[in-house]
């Protein structure tokens, strides 16, 4: 439990080894994707919300982490691991499958997206507005966001589950005008959904389904 900024500043270990790291934020954080311009954030609104502005090292759009409402799980896999896949689009399918198995244990029916990236008007800006390979959805609504950072030593897969999906708090700290914010809120209302299970329960279920070495 701690700062999203400190968590995302960690380099990928060298040499890489299988490891799972879990973040529960102790303060709100707006986390931008690795290539997302900082101007996507409304700096004054971020400060007014008492939030950190953080950049992660994996791709995708922005997410808002709120204490008690978000479970962030990093999974590192080295290149010499049997789980490694040179195909970047296929590489996270196994992790998505582990999430699906964990959710089945909790009575949630979901599936892994194994097709190409599905974009929307807002997907460059908002992570949960897109559906990428390995991510988990229920009826097309994203449940588990997943991104990855690959180096010559291995890959770090970054997973996010939200207890509740409401795009408005996120949109309120992004650099949008009032019209764009209303349009985005309406169009993003049904792209994702949350999981109301206690976060430790979700984590335990996932850990029980991660492949053995």
Q: Taking all residues of the chain, what is their mean pLDDT, rounded to a whole number? A: 97
Per-residue pLDDT reduced to its tens digit, 4-55: 999 999 998 889 999 999 999 999 999 999 999 999 999 999 999 999 999 9
- Nearest Cα to 114, choosing from 98, 134, 96, 128? 134
Calpha distance 132→125 (Å, rounded): 14
Local confidence band at 69 (pLDDT 50, 70, 90 cut-offs): very high
Per-residue pLDDT reduced to its tens digit, 107-152: 999 999 999 999 999 999 999 999 999 999 999 999 999 999 999 9
Could you give all domains of the chain from N- to C-terminal order, each with its CATH number? Answer: 4-206 (3.30.930.10)
Average pLDDT value for residue range 92-110: 98
Calpha distance 103→111 (Å, rounded): 10
Query: Per the structure block, which two tokens stand in for 186?
Result: 């309406």
Average pLDDT value for residue range 160-176: 98
Query: Strands of 63-65's sheet, edge to edge?
Result: 52-55, 29-32, 63-65
- Nearest Cα to 54, choosing from 173, 194, 191? 173
pLDDT on residue 212: 87
pLDDT on residue 178: 97
Q: What is the torsion angle, in degrees rounded to the nearest 10, for the CA atoms of residue 156, residue 161, residue 90 and residue 77?
A: 30
pLDDT on residue 22: 97
Per-residue pLDDT reduced to its tens digit, 171-183: 999 999 999 999 9
Grouping H, G, I as helix, E, B as strand and the rest as coil, residue 74 is strand
Q: For residue 31, give the H/E element and its range.
A: strand 29-32
- Report how far Cα 194 is from the mean position of its chain's Cα atoms: 12
pLDDT on residue 13: 84
- Report how far Cα 107 is from the mean position of its chain's Cα atoms: 22
Residues sharing a CB contact under 8 Å with residue 110, sequence separation 6 or more, in sequence order: 99, 100, 103, 104, 136, 137, 138, 143, 144
- Nearest Cα to 150, choosing from 93, 213, 88? 88
């Amino acid at each position: 439990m701690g700062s999203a900024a400190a968590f995302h500043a960690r380099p990928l270990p060298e040499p890489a080894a299988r490891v799972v790291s879990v973040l529960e934020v102790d303060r709100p954080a707006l986390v931008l994707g690795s290539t997302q311009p900082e101007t996507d954030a409304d700096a004054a609104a971020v400060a007014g919300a008492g939030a950190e502005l953080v950049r992660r090292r994996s791709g995708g759009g922005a997410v808002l982490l709120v204490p008690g409402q978000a479970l962030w799980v990093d999974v590192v896999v080295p290149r010499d691991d049997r789980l490694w896949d040179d195909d970047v689009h296929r590489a996270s399918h196994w992790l998505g499958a582990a999430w699906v198995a964990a959710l089945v244990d909790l009575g949630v029916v979901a599936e892994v997206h194994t097709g190409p990236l599905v974009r929307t008007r807002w997907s460059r800006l908002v992570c949960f507005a897109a559906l990428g390979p390995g991510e988990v959805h229920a009826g097309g609504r994203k449940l588990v966001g997943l991104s990855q950072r690959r180096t010559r030593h291995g890959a770090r897969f970054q997973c996010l589950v939200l207890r509740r999906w409401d795009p408005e708090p996120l949109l309120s700290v992004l650099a949008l005008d009032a019209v764009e914010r209303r349009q985005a809120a309406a169009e993003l209302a049904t792209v994702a959904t949350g999981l109301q299970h206690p976060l430790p329960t979700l984590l335990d279920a996932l850990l029980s389904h991660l492949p053995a070495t």
